[in-house]
């Protein structure tokens, strides 16, 4: 920055401040794009130029859409449009449309689309791709598809953008179909599918796309890696998670990743049950930010080590790292699983008084769960009644589970009926209610619940198992014979039973 200011001083001394020069243009680009923290300084220089080119306008518009004040992109664009000089070009509209996407300003985006056509850029691939992204990211999938269908020329970015729109904001099945039809696929295309699959909970498919990417010899980017780590975490696929960790370690040549990557790895190892590996990643981070601390606090809570979550939180605060709302969800969860009622209530109060964090429904839910699990059902109900937010299904579900454990039929019935009003198809609620009545020897109510389930066609969800073999996860659902080896396994079991019968004869009966 100091060198940039020296250069600016030389430009002023030589009289190049009023008229835009090559040097001044390079300086603004550096300040606005390469170093976003100095964007205000770039704007000061920009405002002092009397005759501004389209290039320098585009540079500032581009810088603003990725800043904390993206609306300033519109201010500069309107200035160009109002003055008529300099004229807009094919690079102006993509930046403006990205600002519309960031702000979710549908009206401004549609106005920009009209200006695109009016200024003769309606057939430019770069501009059309930006239109697809704008409409798709704002869930206007039909409009995005219309732009795509009207294009005379499409490149790999065109296909990838539409695939991403469907994968993240529309039908994942349509995204699969489009991806298959793509004449050319890039690592960004695969990354879009992996990210979309993870967002839609299609984790096995995400790993399948990753394997196809490897077969094609494409090198994963950071977005791809983050998607695979997330899929591995949700599937509990430790082998795949370890492989991708080893891959990025070899790629970067060391264990020093950014905070997002470290946080994702810690979270993945905890979800895959490898506490040792999660701690190893955490301890290897030189500068630990709130993400790494939060992942450790939440992970320890997940595995029932609530006291360790509390210790980590206190260490974090002592080192001057400020917690966020997600940190407190993990901390309160840890207190819940460890039965630390007083500590949990104290931390809930400290959220706002000490750290200025406004509690959300998740934090209120943690407190209700904390009280309920401890058998303090009456206190939990009182807390719910005094909440500034309306209790949701997760909170009532926590109360119902606690009532089942502590045999509180009266409050359990209340919770179950609330849940069934919201989700009458939810078999899990009926099963909890059946368990509650069974424990209380209320057999007439058991019969009534079973009859009600039969009338509405609610059935208990079948059990399932997830097995990982050679890095591939296989899911087996009770009673499902659609999986190819299922028939073979059944025949082998039947054959084994037959052999046992022959060997033991009457003893089998």
> Residues 389-447: pLDDT tens digits?
888 888 988 888 888 888 888 888 888 888 888 777 777 877 887 888 887 778 877 78
Q: How far apart are CA 92 and CA 467, in angstroms?
A: 52
For residues 278 and 266, is the Cβ–Cβ distance under 8 A?
Answer: yes
% pLDDT > 70, the chain: 87
Per-residue pLDDT of 252-293, as tens digits, reads: 777 778 899 999 999 999 999 999 999 999 999 999 999 999
Mean pLDDT rounded to a whole number for the chain: 85
Per-residue pLDDT of 464-509, as tens digits, reads: 555 555 555 556 565 555 555 656 666 666 677 676 666 555 544 4
- Under DSSP, is residue 116 helix (H, G, I), strand (E, B) or coil? helix
Per-residue pLDDT of 359-393, as tens digits, reads: 999 999 999 999 999 999 999 999 998 999 888 88
pLDDT at 19: 63
- Strands of 126-216, DSSP E: none
Q: Name the burial class of residue 134, with classes exposed (0-12), middle (13-18) and buried (19+) by CB atoms within 10 angstroms of its CB.
A: buried
pLDDT at 443: 84
Per-residue pLDDT of 40-97, as tens digits, reads: 888 888 888 878 888 989 999 999 988 888 888 988 988 887 776 788 888 899 999 9
For residues 185 and 157, is the Cβ–Cβ distance under 8 A?
Answer: no
Rg (CA), the chain: 29
- Cβ contacts of residue 249 below 8 Å, gap of 6+? 255
Q: Compute the average pLDDT of residues 19-43.
A: 80
- The 10 Å CB-count burial string (b at 16+, else e) for 322-344 is ebeeebbbbbbbbbbbbebbebb
Neighbours of 459 (CB within 10 A): 11
Indicate the DSSP class of residue 32: I
pTM of the shown model: 0.75
From the list 6, 2, 3, 57, the residue with the least C-alpha distance to 32 is 57
pLDDT at 351: 94
pLDDT at 404: 84
State whether the Cα torsion 169-173-178-184 is positive or negative: positive
% pLDDT > 90, the chain: 46
Q: Compute the average pLDDT of residues 341-358.
A: 94
- Cβ contacts of residue 360 below 8 Å, gap of 6+? 325, 389
């Amino acid at each position: 920055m100091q060198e940039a200011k020296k250069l600016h001083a030389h430009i002023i001394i030589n009289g190049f401040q009023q008229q835009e020069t090559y040097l001044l243009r390079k300086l603004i680009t550096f300040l606005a794009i390469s170093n976003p923290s100095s964007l205000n300084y770039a704007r000061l220089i920009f405002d002092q130029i009397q005759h501004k080119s389209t290039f320098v306008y585009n540079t500032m518009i581009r810088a603003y859409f990725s800043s904390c004040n993206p609306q300033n992109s519109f201010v500069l664009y309107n200035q160009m449009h109002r003055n008529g000089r300099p004229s807009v070009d094919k690079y102006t509209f993509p930046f403006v449309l990205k600002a519309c996407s960031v702000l979710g300003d549908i009206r401004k985006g549609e106005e920009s689309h009209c200006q695109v056509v009016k200024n003769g850029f309606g057939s430019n691939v770069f501009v059309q791709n930006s239109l697809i992204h704008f409409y798709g990211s704002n869930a206007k999938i039909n409009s995005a598809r219309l732009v795509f269908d009207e294009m005379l020329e499409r490149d790999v970015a065109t296909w990838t953008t539409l695939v991403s729109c469907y994968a993240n904001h529309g039908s994942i099945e349509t995204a699969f179909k489009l991806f298959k039809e793509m004449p050319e696929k890039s690592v960004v295309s695969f990354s879009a599918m992996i990210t979309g699959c993870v967002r839609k909970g299609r984790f096995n498919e995400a790993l399948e796309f990753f394997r196809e990417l490897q077969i094609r010899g494409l090198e994963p980017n950071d977005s791809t890696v983050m998607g695979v780590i997330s899929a591995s975490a949700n599937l509990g696929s430790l082998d795949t998670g370890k492989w991708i960790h080893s891959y990025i370690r070899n790629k970067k040549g060391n264990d020093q990743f950014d905070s997002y990557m470290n946080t994702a790895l810690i979270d993945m190892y905890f979800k895959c049950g490898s506490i040792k590996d999660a701690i190893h990643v955490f301890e290897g981070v030189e500068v630990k930010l709130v993400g790494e601390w939060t992942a450790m606090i939440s992970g320890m809570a997940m595995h029932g080590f609530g006291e360790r979550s509390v210790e980590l939180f206190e260490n974090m605060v002592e080192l001057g790292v400020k917690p966020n709302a997600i940190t407190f969800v993990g901390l309160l969860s840890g207190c819940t699983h460890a039965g630390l009622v007083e500590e949990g209530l104290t931390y809930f109060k400290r959220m706002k008084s000490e750290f200025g964090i406004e509690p959300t429904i998740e934090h209120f839910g943690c407190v209700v769960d904390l009280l309920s699990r401890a058998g303090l059902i009456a206190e939990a109900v009182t807390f719910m009644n005094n909440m500034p937010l309306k209790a949701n299904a997760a909170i009532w579900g926590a109360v119902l589970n606690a009532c089942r454990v502590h045999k509180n039929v009266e409050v359990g019935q209340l919770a179950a009926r609330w849940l069934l009003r919201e989700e009458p198809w939810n078999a899990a609620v009926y099963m909890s209610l059946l368990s509650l009545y069974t424990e209380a020897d209320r057999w007439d109510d058991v019969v009534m619940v079973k009859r009600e389930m039969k009338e509405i066609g609610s059935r208990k969800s079948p059990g399932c198992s997830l097995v990982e073999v050679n890095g591939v996860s296989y899911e087996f659902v009770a009673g499902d014979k659609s999986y190819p080896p299922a028939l073979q396994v059944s025949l082998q079991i039947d054959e084994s039973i037959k052999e046992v019968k022959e060997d033991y004869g009457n003893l089998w009966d």
